[in-house]
Chains A and B, each alone.
Chain A
Amino acid sequence: MSTSLRRRTDFSLRRGFLDAGIALLAFVLVCAGLNALLPFPDVDVVSAELRYFKEHQDDFNTVFIGSSHIHHQISPAIFDRITSEAGHPTRTFNFGINGMFPPESGYVLERLLRARPRHLKWVFIELDELETRRFPQAEASRRSLYWHDWSRTALVLQQILDAVRPGEALSFSRKTSEVFTPGPGKSDARDRFFFHGALFAKNFTNIGRKMDLAWWSSHLGKQDAAPKGLGRENDGFVPQTRTMPVEEGIAYETGLKEAVANAESRFVSAATEQAYRQWAAEVRKMGATPIFLVTPRATQTKLGFTPESGIAETVMLFNDARAYPQLYRNEMRVDADHLNGVAAGEFTELVARKFSQLIQKKQIQ
């Protein structure tokens, strides 16, 4: 009797698991379907700029994409003038957005390419390590959520796992168990792991996306005004005018001296390289050339790609206070990482000249 009872229990348990599996599968499929069908979320600056770019995409053949280091420091007007003088005329759009670090920048780049801009030839992508930190003031915003698709989240999680035992080639399971076993300095990694995992779950399950539907339906057939953050020329460049306070300037100089003394060259992490390789491939698929750019930041670490990556030759490094001392003078800066408007013009000229040289040398097609 006990055997028959057990059989019956096993059977119902199996049926229970089957039903749970069906429910889960239906849940995942509907979430994925809705995720694909729903309009792009209304993420303040990002959505507005994407919409603007889509409307004017055929006007541009060059795009700079990145964070505030691009937004405030690359002047498309100056860039186009220099390249025109050098005989390689460009029409440039600055797609820099404050706080847009990789992998968010990569996500936006893919969105931008999905619009299939017909004349796009060169895409300058700001180069930096994948950002995994939490920014408490922005955590609850849609900005921190919308780019957490599977591909981006996997990269971020890989970056977090790799950082626990850097330089060691461990299997995925070993890395994961390393993060989840108690030990010094691991709680932060665990915290980030769960944070990004939760954002992925929230994004995948489309929580609260009714507002996107509402926004989309209320804007159907309406012409949007140009977004506010595009600057005077509507080219995405907004120079900064603030001057660095004296105390901050002293701290900046001390920090810079230290950074120059400890300057090193290194390859980006495996996850970062994988991400940039993917984005480079996407750009090439569109018939354009990816160029990676490091702006004149206080950090003097020379980032690069491994030769196996196939993208190592297209990196422009400007975070070198010895090579570009004019960009590192106190009066040229707003803070340790940003240039003022005058220096931004000078920096853009340097980028444009280097770009023209690379074209002349046929290092860039």
Chain B
Amino acid sequence: MLFVEFRFFWFFLVVFCVYWSLRENRSRKLWLLVCSYIFYAAWNWKFLFLLMGSSLLDYVVGMMLARTENSRARRGWLMLSLGANLGTLAFFKYFNFFIASAATLLAWLGLPVSLHTLNIILPVGISFYTFHSMSYTIDVYRGKMRAVSNLLDVCCFIGFFPQMVAGPIVRARLFLPQLQSLRNFSNVDVRGALVLFLTGFIKKACIADALALSVDRYFTAPSSFDTVSAWIAVLFYAVQIYCDFSGYTDMAIACARLLGYELTINFRFPYFASDIAEFWTRWHISLSSWLRDYLFLSLGGARGTHLFAYRNIMITMLLGGLWHGAAWTFVIFGALHGVGLVIHHEWKRLTRKVHALRAAIWWIACPLTFYFVCVTMIFFRSGDLSRAGTTLRSFVLFGGSGLEQLGVWKLWIFFALAFLHWLNFHGTFSTWWRRGPDPVFAAAYGCAAATVLLFIPQHYTPFIYFQF
């Protein structure tokens, strides 16, 4: 069930009405849990048991961590949680990748072996809910939050349907306290949530899915297109993935908000970042901050020598890349960002004394950062190294030799969208819709929703981040 489908609308309407008609917090949470599991089961009910198992295990681990002061025992319980969560993730997501990579490596070393991969279905949202789950046990282990004694709360947190399958990756210590208090409808910013949902819907259904047609056409056979088409495809993909993922996040945050819960923000105009470090404070914020807090800092963070810090950055970004998907293209995506961050830190260190210059070079730094991100996106989208190489040759070296064209005029679409985004960045659309009485807003919202449907494709395209 996708947020852009009709059936989700009916599903959410029922969830919303029943949820707010219930008086007790416990009944509400129980209702949310049942609905969340129905939402997940609509995709594949068999993997529901995996989600339930993960929730139960982390609940037990949390309880055991609360009961013991013995550091060895505590570490053991944490290892059990991490081992089970990462083990599940590794099996479903990376088993075939590692087997195939090992076979290739052995063959390259002159030791050909016949290793069999398994026909494994990737449970949707596994990368997200295992991270939700692990944030709980790690925080309890680190003493940043108390273990929750109510299984319902833990299950609700891990399985909460708006954020379960594609984030944002919500921290237990931010979400669990919300579950423990009765939500009040008078505190819900209904207007804001509805506008956010419609914005997300437009981003996903009207922009991302429309651009996907050109992007898919190019990346199916990049060698048959010319250089301009490569530029169009890569720029479009940058817009597509942003609109797809941030659109999903907007809708997820809006749904949660309508039920009285706040999720963490995930995007803050990432393409206006003036350097790659800033980019990661604006792009998929919930993942980058998760990796920073639970991986980078666990590795030692930026303490010690520069080399030590850079090593940690590289490990974090490589694993961050691999988190996105089991393919070398994702590893390279992570590696490029790691290298970018290292270079940025070195540059920052060397130019510490020329602060005045930095503001002046924003107009150069911002497009340069965007260009670098686009280059890394080529690996993200290509699917294999050969197609990535072909696209890279066209995009970076202007060496596209194909005869097919996507149409130069399409660049105008990119510039128009960039202009709209720039206006939004400067707050043009941020508050005017808050003015005016509720009935006028309601009527305008109904009209806008009806008009928006004209511009969505006839068939739904799954969210890009569902595959992760």
Contacts and interface: CB of A to CB of B under 8 A. Distances in A.
Interface stretch (B275-283, B353-361, B394-402, B449-457): B449-457
A22 B450 contact: no
Contact of B454 (A22, A23, A201, A209): A209
A184 B127 CA distance: 41
Contact of A23 (B445, B451, B453): B445
A12 B186 contact: yes
A27 B455 contact: no
A31 B6 CA distance: 15
Contacts of A31: 450, 453
B121 interface: no
B454 A19 contact: no
Contacts of B439: 18-19, 22
B455 A210 contact: yes
A143 B456 CA distance: 18
Residue in B438, B442, B445, B457 whose Cβ sees the most chain A Cβ within 10 Å: B442
A28 B453 CA distance: 12
A15 interface: yes
Contacts of B453: 31, 205-207
A15 B438 contact: yes
A307 interface: no
Which interface class (under 10, 10 to 19, 20 to 34, 35 or more) fits A?
Answer: 20 to 34
Contact of A26 (B6, B186, B447, B457): B447
Nearest to A26: B446
Nearest to A31: B450
Interface string B4-18: 001000000000000
B70 interface: no
A25 interface: yes
A202 interface: yes
A142 B458 contact: yes
A359 interface: no
Contacts of B442: 19-20, 22-23, 26
Which bucket holds chain B's interface residue count? 20 to 34
A290 to B, nearest CB: 34
Contacts of A140: 458-459
A142 B458 CA distance: 9
Contacts of B364: none
B446 A25 contact: yes
A250 interface: no
A24 B446 contact: yes
Q: Which of A145, A201, A210 has the most CB of B within 10 A?
A: A210
A34 B186 contact: no
A30 interface: yes
B18 to A, nearest CB: 15
B111 interface: no
Contacts of A29: 446
B185 to A, nearest CB: 8
Nearest to B194: A23
B403 interface: no
A30 B454 CA distance: 11
A202 to B, nearest CB: 7
Interface string A61-83: 00000000000000000000000
A198 interface: yes
Contacts of A23: 442-443, 445-446, 449
A198 B447 contact: no
Interface in A20-61: 20, 22-31, 34
A206 B454 contact: yes
Given A31-B450, A206-B453, A207-B453, A26 B443 contact: yes
B6 to A, nearest CB: 6
A345 to B, nearest CB: 40
Contacts of B450: 26-28, 30-31, 34, 205-206
Nearest to A15: B438
A208 B446 contact: no
Nearest to B449: A27
Given A30-B451, A31-B450, A201-B6, A207 B458 contact: yes
A202 B457 CA distance: 11
Nearest to A207: B453
A18 to B, nearest CB: 7
Contacts of B459: 140
Nearest to A145: B458
A190 B453 CA distance: 26
Contacts of A24: 446
A22 B458 contact: no
A211 to B, nearest CB: 8
A27 B198 CA distance: 13
Interface in B406-454: 438-439, 441-447, 449-451, 453-454
A15 B439 CA distance: 9
A334 to B, nearest CB: 33
A287 B449 CA distance: 43
A18 B442 CA distance: 9
A19 B438 CA distance: 7
Contacts of B456: 207-208
A264 B141 CA distance: 78
A63 B231 CA distance: 53
Contacts of A27: 446-447, 449-450
Contacts of B443: 22-23, 25-26
Contact of A30 (B6, B446, B458): B446
Determine which residue in B438, B449, B454, B459 has the highest number of CB atoms from chain A within 10 A of its CB, and name it.
B454
Interface string A130-148: 0000000000101001000
A21 B134 CA distance: 43
A25 B446 CA distance: 7
B6 A202 contact: yes
Nearest to A21: B442
Nearest to A205: B453
Nearest to A194: B7
Interface of B: 6, 186, 438-439, 441-447, 449-451, 453-459
5 contacts: A22-B446, A25-B443, A140-B459, A207-B458, A213-B454
> Which 4 pairs from chain A and chain B are nearest by CB?
A26-B446, A30-B450, A208-B458, A27-B446
Given A18-B439, A20-B442, A25-B446, 13 more contacts: A22-B439, A22-B446, A23-B446, A24-B446, A30-B446, A30-B451, A205-B453, A206-B454, A208-B455, A209-B454, A210-B454, A210-B455, A211-B458
